[in-house]
Structure 1
Amino acid sequence: MIIVYASKTGFTKKYAAMLSEKLGLTMMDVKELSKVPKESEVLYLGWMKVGKVQGLRKMKGYKVVAICGSGTGRSAEPSEEEVKRRNGLENIPFFYLRGGCRPLRDLKGMDKVMLSMFVKAMRKNAEMDERQKEAVEIILHGFDGVNEENLIPVLEWAEKRIS
């Protein structure tokens, strides 16, 4: 099995490195996909945007045996079931990994514009719930939720699969 990952800000790559070390598996950036043999089983990790696992389309034709989606929320947003539906993962194991994001001041281009608009819209909502407040704080100040404990379900699954 090979670990293939797509990481925009480095949080998903951290998880790929942890899994590679713990499982003794090779990890490769999705940008190096041409080096991955088509017959190899792949554990794919990608960052999430609006419930879509980024880079996953590039894996068409490869033997993807499980998917990990990395996002900033405490749980998959939208729900895990909806993430699976949006990504066509009905028959494949999916694991959500809480990742992180850089502070808004460090972002550039369209990411900065879109997240600035999102924060402004959220702040206008006088009835913000705790999840919305947390989301605004995370966007403004950044957050690193990468933690080995988050990998426990993936490791348990992979160890059964490998043995």
Structure 2
Amino acid sequence: MRANARGRRLRWTALVLSGGMLLAGCGAVTTAGSTPTPAASEAPVRAVDLASGEQAEPVEVAVDGGADGVDVTFREITIEPGAGTGEHCHYGQLIAVVQEGELTHYAETHPGGVRVYSAGESIIEGAGYPHEGRNEGESDVVLWVTYVTPEGKPLAETDLSHCHE
């Protein structure tokens, strides 16, 4: 194994363990910089890609259409008070940990259609169903999220006609 690839793998392991999540079988990972859109200082919801990597071997999570491979992205998402993610779905799965605040999660998969996640709780979202996360509190919500998506697909799909239940 080349030293550069080994160094990237060790950085990924440290990053995942520090976030309280473990995703077995991670391949070599490259770090990614901040990708805010619009400018992070002006947006009520900010997302920073902390790491992204490719996985050549199977991952034991449900990934719709992942036969050609999967992408793995580790991201920190900050949602300011009163803001939300907007209704969306995913092509793959995500595993998240609430680092700070309380996230109100709206989805038909919850009894009554809503669940509140507090700091230290994890969230697993599957493929295909519409949902939305909102910060209905008075302080920022910070999420650490690992996405496992089919290669080339976006992390979130806002065109709900592409969602299936």
TM-score, reference length from structure 2: 0.23
Between Structure 1 and Structure 2, which shows a larger proportion of helix residues?
Answer: 1
TM-score by length of structure 1 reads 0.23
- Larger RCO of the pair (alpha carbons < 8 Å, separation 6+): 2
Q: In proportion to residue count, which structure has more strand?
A: 2
